[in-house]
Every structure is written in structure tokens, then in C-alpha cells.
């Protein structure tokens, strides 16, 4: 008896032969995460700020106050600018 989709047995066979070595897969996933985080920077902040999904938003708001103080006191314009942009999105 073939319990599932007709081609599934083919997929099981493929499982053992196809793909990339584990370490290579781990490197690819790490690169993906870095690029995704860089390219989605604004989107991630937006999603944290705008989607009412409890924990992460609460954590962000919890961190926001000390970060705001840093933003006010810092002499590094790029850091101030980045933090201000984050707060803008949070608001």
C-alpha cells in the first residue's frame, strides 16, 4: 500500500541522493539570514512595530527607552539617525 501521493516514494529516494552537504547548507542558511536581515532591516522594524504580536513588540518597547537615551547623548550621527528611525517606526 502506498499511503501517500504517488510520487512520494520517488521523493524519499531523492532525499538520500540530492541536496548539498550539511555544512554547506548551514553556511548558505547563515548567508541567507545575514542578507535577509540587512535587506529587510526596515521591514523587520516595521513588523515589530506594527504587528501586534506580543512578546517581540514588548521586548522592543522595553528596550526602546534606554536606546532613546543613548540616541540623545551619542555623538555618532549615524547611530542617532538609525535609532531615531527605529523609534519613528515604533510610533
Partner 1 sequence: MIFPTLEFALFFLVVLSSHWLLYRFAGIWKWLLLGASYFFYGYWDWRFLGLLAASSILNHACARSMQRFDGARLRKLFLVLAVAFNLGTIAFFKYYGFFVEQAYALAFRFGIPCSLPLLDIVLPVGISFFTFQALSYVIDVYRGVMPPTRHMLDFALYLSFFPQLVAGPIVRARDLAPQLAAFRPPERIDLGRATFLILGGLFKKTVIANYLSQTVVDPVFAYPEAYGAIDTLLAVYGYAVQIYCDFSAYSDMAIGFCLLLGIHIPINFDAPYSATSIQDFWRRWHISLSTFLRDYLYIPLGGSRVGAAGVYRNLMLTFLLGGLWHGAAWTFIVWGALHGVYLCIERAVAGRPAKRAATLTGWRRFGRQCLVFHLVGLSWIFFRSQTFAEAGVMLRNLARWRVTPEFPGTTLLLAIVAGLASQCLDNRRQVRGWDAFNRLPVIAQGLLAAMVLVVILAMGPRGVAPFIYFQF
Backbone angles phi, psi at 20, to 5 degrees: -120, 155
Shorter beta-carbon distance to partner 1: residue 17 or 77: 17
Q: How many residues does the chain have?
A: 91
* Integer Cα distance of 24 and 8 in angstroms: 26
Which residues would be at the binding site for partner 1 (CB under 8 A)?
1, 3-8, 10-12, 14-22, 24-36, 38-40, 43-44, 46-48, 50-51, 53, 55-56
Q: Which CB, 12 or 88, lies closer to partner 1? A: 12
Cβ of residue 91: shortest distance to partner 1, in angstroms? Answer: 16
Amino acid at each position: 500500500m502506498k499511503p501517500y501521493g504517488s510520487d512520494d516514494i520517488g521523493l524519499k529516494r531523492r532525499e538520500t541522493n540530492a541536496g548539498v552537504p550539511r555544512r554547506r547548507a548551514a553556511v548558505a542558511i547563515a548567508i541567507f539570514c545575514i542578507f535577509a536581515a540587512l535587506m529587510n532591516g526596515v521591514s523587520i522594524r516595521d513588523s515589530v512595530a506594527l504587528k501586534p504580536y506580543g512578546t517581540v513588540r514588548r521586548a522592543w518597547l522595553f528596550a526602546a527607552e534606554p536606546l532613546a537615551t543613548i540616541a540623545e547623548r551619542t555623538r555618532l550621527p549615524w547611530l542617532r539617525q538609525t535609532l531615531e528611525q527605529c523609534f519613528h517606526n515604533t510610533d
